[in-house]
Structure 1
Amino acid sequence: MNAAETPRRGHCSDFEAPVYRNRWRSLALALTGSLLALVPAAPTAGEIYRCARQDGGAPLYTDTRCDAQAQPVPSRTPPTIAANPAPDLAARHDQRLQREHERRQALDARWLAEHHRAAALDQRIRQAVVEGRVVAGMSAAQVRQAWGAPDQVIPQVGDGAPRERWVYRGDRDGTGTRSVQLEGNRVVGSGRRAPEAPSTPPRTTPPR
């Protein structure tokens, strides 16, 4: 055997090197397992231990073990109350918008109806003034335009707005009387009284 083939003193051959490495690895794993067995188990998160005091005082509750044989105190589950379902804020918002939309539509419809009623009444009053008639809803100035100044104004006592009765002597044909009832400067009624027929004197029979 030449010098190149002779193994050096103190060194293992290529065949023996993997065997020693496996042995050292097995020994390291065994030592690691032994050391881990000696380390006390860490307490589980949330566990509470009841430890007795040496002076006989009240027991001490802690989250660390008092000794190796300490057992955790059984945990108590606190009572739970079912929460009310979360309100649907989007649905409430939509409902509020819908109610507001309906309210506005109702107000618009009411205003439109009042506008048409007022316009129709104004047209009817204008036509009555032109034709010399008095209708309900006329103002005192419009009555004067239709019939002129009254011959007599009779104030009337009543609750609320002031009331008056305007009397016109002579109808269109010069007979009878006409009257207009006003309340709060607005016509609430009108009437006409026919002329009274002249009384016929009793007939007397001449003496014979």
Structure 2
Amino acid sequence: MRNRPIPGSSGAVRAMSLYGAAELHAPCEPVNDFGPALVRLVEDMFATMYAARGVGLAANQVGEGLRVFVYDCPDDEDVRHLGHVVNPRLVAADGVVVRGPEGCLSLPGLEAGTERYDHAVVEGVDVYGEPVRVDGTGFFARCLQHECDHVDGTVYADRVTGWRRTKLLRQVRRAPWGEPGPARGA
């Protein structure tokens, strides 16, 4: 086992891509270079996630189109799960479908009821290329599915339907960081 410092403790906080940014809606590329740049990216992602008070963050949220995400997320029993996955694959999403409040650091301050399975399994590797398998339930399963969506170019708002979607998109337009609304006047 490697003796490692606290994740993010030497990372730089990066600018966050916000909803509507092209990089959030494009599938990320697989990681092929497992060198110092990848270690730095993961460290910066932890620092950025903690600065934004999030529980997960994908590389495309900080402008890097790579299949990488980090997490520090509790499950429904308040057990802390901390780690990262490079080249993640959602290999199982099953169990009961639960509609619960979901937010995203790329839609700051907003959330909407989003359906997710209450169990998820993700496989990939770590920054050293060693195999990783992460099994989550409850809120942590939601986080794993959310981050896998990100690296596939999907934002949780894309999964929200009906009046919840209408309400969420209205909130996006009204947010100080949101898309400009339609022209008013004449």
What TM-score results when the alignment is normalised by the length of structure 1? 0.24
The structure richer in strand per residue is: 2
Q: Which has the larger radius of gyration?
A: 1
Higher relative contact order (CA 8 A, sep 6+): 2
